[in-house]
Amino acid sequence: MADINRQILLDQIPQGRLGREHFRFNEAAMPKPGDGELLVRTRYFSLDAANRAWMSGATYRAALSAGQLMAGGALAEVRESRAPGFAPGDLVFADTGWQEYAVLSARHLIKLQVTEPITYLLSVYGVAGLTAYFGLLECGKPKPGDTVVVSAAAGSVGMMVGQIAKIKGCRTVGIAGGAAKCALLTEELGFDKAVDYKAGDTLRALRAASPEGIDVYFDNVGGDILEACLFNMKNHGRVACCGAVSQYDTGAPHAPRGVPGLIVTKRLTLQGFLVMDFMAQRERALADLKGWVQNGQLKVREDIIDGFENLPAALIGLLAGENIGKRLVRVS
């Protein structure tokens, strides 16, 4: 085992767009586990828009501060265990931070069942898949025949939302940036329609794609696209508020018009959620997701980048929308 633990620190808090200059590489001593702790080697990092949101202020966790280890979740392998129930070789998912090794308290960790490929533990069977599952079904409450619209539809959560909605008998519309992503949605992932928000008038394109209006909107982006969807919701429609990626990497957020006017006149329900609130129902969700993957109804796309040193660029690119499917960085 190496003596050195490579780390990436968040050197400065970005005020506008995130860049490589906000990160700094560091070498620390190899940490040692105490009683009840595990030493783990990180294997795959999950890259998420939330990584950027944490830099902008308190969310469901305290804000990140300049100089600290960059926060981030990883699939990690136990190298040394000083906690009952864990042995070398076991896999866990944890907020290890951006480093090669981490010492974790075993207390809140779950030993993951190995799947093939193991990256599915970070995509369809991880936070992304569970977020899509619970957000759509528990907050969006789609009924067969409903029109379900999802933004960031070629991203890790969005592509699963559209496919699960289809499995539930809905008409699905994905909003994504660029012709290639839109073609993927309709030609490979079974979406009924795709709207390219980079092609111009999103409100009009959305109206054409959902001429009877929207029953359920799964919002990953906030801003202008949330606004366009609010204007196109049916009466009594539901909005599952999952994230606001359009707002994270900017110094000038855009508050959508129509709040609360359209919420009142259309009797809409907007419900925010975090996947962690649904963890008691995790096993049921995983059983559904595994069944759909195995019978071919739910297709998984991953976007895997190699190399620990590429973590900053991978996150910056994710915020610019360059990934299709779940973006991961393989580090060992």
Site residues, its own copies (CB under 8 A): 53, 58-60, 219, 222, 226, 241-244, 247, 253, 255-274, 277
Do 132 and 192 contact (CB within 8 A), yes or no?
Answer: no
Judge whether 25 and 259 are in contact, CB under 8 Å: no
Q: Indicate the residue type of 47.
A: L
Q: Which is nearer to its own copies, 126 or 243 (CB)?
A: 243
Of 39 and 50, CB closest to its own copies: 50
Helices 156-167 and 127-134 pack at an angle, to 10 degrees, of 40
Closest distance to its own copies from the beta carbon of 315 (Å):
19
- Pick 240 or 311: Cβ nearer its own copies: 240
- Minimum CB separation of residue 236 from its own copies in Å reads 8
CB of 182 to its own copies, least distance (A): 24
Please tell me the distance from the alpha carbon of residue 321 to that of residue 310, in angstroms, as a whole number.
16
CB of 23 to its own copies, least distance (A): 24
What minimum distance in Å lies between the beta carbon of 250 and its own copies? Answer: 12
Q: Sign of the C-alpha dihedral, residues 260, 261, 263, 267? A: positive
Nearer to its own copies, 60 or 143 (CB): 60
Instruction: Compare residues 53 and 173 and give the one whose CB is closer to its own copies.
Output: 53
Q: Where are the alpha helices (DSSP H) in the chain?
A: 49-53, 127-134, 156-167, 179-183, 202-209, 223-232, 245-248, 261-265, 282-294, 311-319
Q: Among residues 159 and 240, whose Cβ is nearest to its own copies?
A: 240
Query: Least distance to its own copies from the beta carbon of 262, Å?
Result: 8
What does the alpha-carbon distance between residue 246 and residue 257 come to, in Å, rounded to a whole number?
15
